[in-house]
Chain A
Amino acid sequence: MYRYDEFDQQLVNERVAQFRGQVGRRLSGELTEDEFKPLRLMNGVYLQLHAYMLRIAVPYGTLSSKQLRMLAHVGRKYDRGYGHFTTRQNLQFNWPALKDMPDLLAELASVEMHAIQTSGNCIRNVTSDQYAGAAKNEIEDPRIVSEIIRQWSTFHPEFSFLPRKFKIAVSGTPDDRAAIRVHDIGIQIVQNGKGEIGYEIYVGGGLGRTPMIGKKIAGFVPKEDLLAYLEAVMRVYNMYGRRDNIYKARIKILVHEIGVEEMTRQVEAEFAELRKAGALHLPQEEVARIEAYFRPPSHENLPDDSAELNKAVLADRGFANWVKSNVAQHKVPGYAIVNISLKPIGGVPGDCTSDQMDAVADIAEKYSFDELRVTHEQNLTLAHVRKKDLHAVYELLKAHDLATPNIGLITDQIACPGLDYCALANARSIPLAQQISERFADIERQHEIGELKINTSGCINACGHHHVGHIGILGVDKKGVEYYQVTLGGAADEKTAIGDIVGRAFTEDEVVDAIETIVTTYIGVRQNGERFIDTYRRVGIDPFKESLYETH
C-alpha cells in the first residue's frame, strides 16, 4: 500500500499544528461555537446530539495492521473502546473530548492517518473497491488513481468551499463494488482498442433527497489528463452549482437543470483550456512511483484447490456457511478474499471494538500481507488469504465474534447512525436494523433467502443509502411519530437503480412484519434460485404491493 514520503508527512503534521491552534482558540473562548464550526468541519469534527464526533479518513478503504492497531488504541484511550466504520470506508469515534482531539490527531499522524476533508463542502475521501488488487477481472488497481486523486484534492485552494460536499469513487472492474453511479463523480477504469488504460467518467449521481443516477460524460479520458479533466468538472461545478438552497446544491442538480449535453460541453471547453495550460499533466514517472506501492504482494505458487479447505468444509457446517457467503474468488490460484462481517446478529452495523480491531490487525499481519480494507457496506476485507489458511482464519475470527456468515445476506444491512446519535434524523435506524437482524437470525434461512441487501436511513438525507437497497427503509416523522417508508428494487452495482416506493409507510411495530411479507412473497415467486433483485426486475412491484396491503 501507499507510504507517505517526507512531503506527505509534513503536510499532515502541519495540519495537526493548525488544528491544535484552532481548538485552543475555541477552548479559551476566543472563538464562539459558530465561529469554530467552519474550522472543525474542515477536519471531520461534527457536533452530534450528545457530543463531538470525529471522523477519520481511511483513504479508499485501505489500512495496514499498524494503522488498525492505532485506531484500536485511540478507541481505548480517547473513546469508549470502540469505533464505527462508515459507508465512506471511514472510521468514526462518537465520544472523544474536544480538548483531546489535537493529541489524538497527532497520534494518528504518526501512522500516516488524518481527518482531513472528512467533512465540509470539499472533496471528501475517495472511495474504491475493497477487492482492489485481488479481483479476477480487474483492468487496473483502482487504488493507484485513488491515491493520485487524494493528493490532488488535499487542501485544494480552489475547491475547499464548494456549493456542497463532493464525493468521488473509482472502480477498476466491470462489476462495480464501489457504487460509482451514485457519486458526484464516478470513475470507471477502462481499456481502449489500443490496449491503453483510461477513464470513463460519470457525473451527477447521488442519493439524499433527490436520488439520481450518474450520467456518463466521457468515454475515455487518457491517464495523463485525468487531473485536468477532474479540475474542469470541479471548476464548472464551483462556478455554476447552486448556492441558494442547500438541498439543490449538489452537482446532480446542476447536471439535471442544465442537462447532460450542456454539462458535457462546458466541461469539455474547460478541459481543453486546462489541458492546453499543461500544469496538471500527470507525468509517467509519478504514476509509476505510486503504482510501485500497489504492486501485488508476493503470492506463493499454489494449486488452486486446497485439500485442507475441502476437508474443513465437509467437517464444519458453520465454516461451510461462512465460506459460502464470506469468501470470494481471488485472481491468484490457491488464494481467496475473506470478508469480515461487522453485522453480528442484533449488533450495530459497522461497530467494531478496540479488541476486535487488534484481533483483525493480527490476523491481517499473519495471513493477508499485513493489510486490510474497509468496505462501503461497513464490513472489513482481507484481500489475500491462502485457501489452506481459511479455516484457521475463521476460527480466529470466530473467537472475536467476527465470523458471522452473512455477507450479502439479509442481515448484512447498511444503517446510518439515526436518531440515537444524529441531530438530523427523524427516526431510529440502528434499533430497527437490530430487530430485522434478530427476526432473520437463523443462518440456514438466510442462506435459503440468498443475496438481499437491506439499507436503512433515519432521514431523507439518505446516509444509509436506502434508495439503492434491494429493500430500502426510510425513517419519516409524522406528527412526532416514527414511520418507515419501504422501497424495493434499488441497486448500487453496475445496474444501478433507485428503489420504488411500495406504498404507505409502516409503523415501527409493522415494519419488521412487512419485511417478512416481502421476503415470503419473493420466495413464492422466485424461479430457479434467482436473487431477490432479479426476481423484482422480472415481476415488478405488484405482487409485493398485493401481499403487503391486501389484508390491511
Chain B
Amino acid sequence: MKLIRNGTFVEDDFITVGDGDQLPDGAAIVSLERWQAERETLRARNAPIGVRLQSGQEPGAIADDLDRIDLVALEFPVYRNGRAYSYARLLRERYGFKGEVRAVGNVLRDQFQFMIRCGFDALEVTDNITPEIWAENAGSFSLFYQPSADGKETVLSLRQRLAARAQEKATA
C-alpha cells in the first residue's frame, strides 16, 4: 500500500496496531473498541494517536475526543460502500475536525476526487497508483455544483460573481 497525503506520496508515520498488540512509542492508530476501552490512557499518551472507524461506526462516537485525536481513518470495506463519505463530511463540517482524515480499505482511483471533496486529506492506495494516475484522477473535474467539505467554490457562486461583474459593468 502507498499513502498519499495532501497530494504527495509519503511514508506512513503512523503504525496501525491490533487490539491485543503493544503500542509503539510513536504515532499509532487504534480501533474504536480499543479507544473506548483505554480512553484515559490513550488520551494521556505523549505521541500522536489515530482512531480507525469501520463502516457502521459513526464519528459521533468520538466527537468528544476529537480535541485529542490526530487522525481518523475511515474504512471502505468495499468501494461500493459509500458510508464513509458522510462520515468524513460530518467530521469536517459538523465536528470541525482539523486533523488528518484518511481513507483506508478498497479505494478506487475513480473515487479520489469524491473523497477529497468530502474532506479526506490522506488516502491509502494500492501500489499500482503512480503520481501521474493520482494527478489525472484527483482533478478529473474542475467545476462543482455542491458545497462540500473541501470548501471549493460552487458553480452557483461562480454564476453569482459573473452576474455581479456584469451588473458592475452595466452601471459603470
Distance in Å from the Cβ of A216 to the closest Cβ of chain B?
A: 25
Q: Which residues of chain B are near A273, meaning CB under 8 Å?
A: 94
Interchain CA distance A492-B76 in the complex, whole Å: 38
The closest CB in chain B to the CB of A155 belongs to B141
Distance in Å from the Cβ of B56 to the closest Cβ of chain A?
A: 9
Could you say which interface size class chain A belongs to? Answer: 35 or more
Given A160-B114, A243-B55; A154-B145 close (CB under 8 Å)? yes
Q: Which residues of chain A are near B55, meaning CB under 8 Å?
A: 243
Write 23 A-B pairs (CB below 8 A) sorted by A numbering: A5-B159, A7-B155, A38-B80, A38-B110, A121-B82, A151-B155, A155-B145, A157-B114, A157-B146, A158-B82, A158-B86, A158-B89, A158-B146, A160-B85, A161-B114, A162-B82, A239-B83, A243-B83, A277-B93, A285-B160, A285-B163, A286-B160, A289-B159
Main secondary structure of the interface of B (DSSP, over half): helix
A159 close to B80 (CB less than 8 A) = no
Partner of A279, one of B110, B113, B147: B147
* A293 interfacial contact with B, CB 8 Å: no
Q: Which residues of chain A are near B140, meaning CB under 8 Å?
A: 14, 18
A10 close to B82 (CB less than 8 A) = no
Q: Which residues of chain B are near A157, meaning CB under 8 Å?
A: 85, 113-115, 117-118, 144, 146, 148
B146 close to A238 (CB less than 8 A) = no
A152 close to B145 (CB less than 8 A) = yes
A18, A239, A273 — most chain B CB neighbours (10 Å) = A239
B143 close to A11 (CB less than 8 A) = yes
Question: What per-residue 1/0 map shows which CB atoms of B99-141 lie under 8 Å from chain A?
Answer: 0000000001011011101100000000000000000100011
Q: Which residues of chain B are near A160, meaning CB under 8 Å?
A: 82, 85, 114
* B22 interfacial contact with A, CB 8 Å: no
* A525 interfacial contact with B, CB 8 Å: no
A7 close to B114 (CB less than 8 A) = no
Q: Which residues of chain A are near B156, meaning CB under 8 Å?
A: 283, 286
Interface of A toward B, CB cutoff 8 Å: 5, 7-8, 10-11, 14-15, 18, 21-22, 38-39, 42, 121, 151-152, 154-162, 235, 238-239, 243, 273, 277, 279-280, 283, 285-286, 289
The closest CB in chain A to the CB of B110 belongs to A39
Q: Which residues of chain B are near A22, meaning CB under 8 Å?
A: 110
B146 close to A239 (CB less than 8 A) = no
* B158 interfacial contact with A, CB 8 Å: yes
Instruction: List 3 A-B pairs, minimum CB-CB distance, nearest first.
Output: A161-B82, A157-B117, A279-B147
A238 close to B155 (CB less than 8 A) = no
Main secondary structure of the interface of A (DSSP, over half): helix
Q: Give the total of B residues in contact with A, Cβ under 8 Å.
A: 37
Interchain CA distance A39-B111 in the complex, whole Å: 10
Q: Which residues of chain A are near B155, meaning CB under 8 Å?
A: 7-8, 11, 151
Interchain CA distance A21-B137 in the complex, whole Å: 10
The closest CB in chain B to the CB of A161 belongs to B82
Q: Which residues of chain B are near A42, meaning CB under 8 Å?
A: 110
* B79 interfacial contact with A, CB 8 Å: yes
Interface hits, B48-84 → A, CB 8 Å: 55, 58, 79-83
Q: Which residues of chain A are near B160, meaning CB under 8 Å?
A: 283, 285-286
Given A14-B140, A157-B118; A7-B158 close (CB under 8 Å)? yes
The closest CB in chain B to the CB of A150 belongs to B145
* B142 interfacial contact with A, CB 8 Å: yes
Interchain CA distance A279-B156 in the complex, whole Å: 11
B86 close to A14 (CB less than 8 A) = no
A238 close to B83 (CB less than 8 A) = yes
A161 close to B159 (CB less than 8 A) = no
A8-B155, A156-B146 given; 18 more Cβ-contact pairs under 8 Å: A7-B155, A10-B142, A11-B141, A14-B141, A21-B136, A38-B80, A121-B80, A155-B141, A157-B117, A157-B146, A161-B111, A238-B82, A239-B58, A239-B86, A280-B147, A285-B160, A286-B156, A289-B159
Q: Which residues of chain A are near B93, meaning CB under 8 Å?
A: 277
Q: Which residues of chain B are near A38, meaning CB under 8 Å?
A: 79-80, 108, 110
A235 close to B144 (CB less than 8 A) = no
Q: Which residues of chain B are near A235, meaning CB under 8 Å?
A: 86
The closest CB in chain A to the CB of B87 belongs to A239
Q: Which residues of chain A are near B144, meaning CB under 8 Å?
A: 155, 157
Interchain CA distance A161-B79 in the complex, whole Å: 8
Given A158-B118, A235-B86, A239-B86; A151-B79 close (CB under 8 Å)? no
Q: Which residues of chain B are near A151, meaning CB under 8 Å?
A: 145, 155
Q: Which residues of chain B are near A7, meaning CB under 8 Å?
A: 143, 155, 158-159
Given A158-B118, A158-B148; A286-B159 close (CB under 8 Å)? yes
Distance in Å from the Cβ of A83 to the closest Cβ of chain B?
A: 28
Distance in Å from the Cβ of A6 to the closest Cβ of chain B?
A: 9
Q: Which residues of chain B are near A243, meaning CB under 8 Å?
A: 55, 80-81, 83
Interchain CA distance A11-B155 in the complex, whole Å: 10
Interchain CA distance A11-B144 in the complex, whole Å: 8
Distance in Å from the Cβ of B104 to the closest Cβ of chain A?
A: 16
Q: Which residues of chain B are near A8, meaning CB under 8 Å?
A: 155
Q: Which residues of chain A are near B118, meaning CB under 8 Å?
A: 157-158
Q: Which residues of chain A are near B111, meaning CB under 8 Å?
A: 161
B143 close to A161 (CB less than 8 A) = no
Interchain CA distance A162-B85 in the complex, whole Å: 10
Interchain CA distance A256-B96 in the complex, whole Å: 33
B108, B113, B114, B160 — most chain A CB neighbours (10 Å) = B114
Interchain CA distance A156-B140 in the complex, whole Å: 14
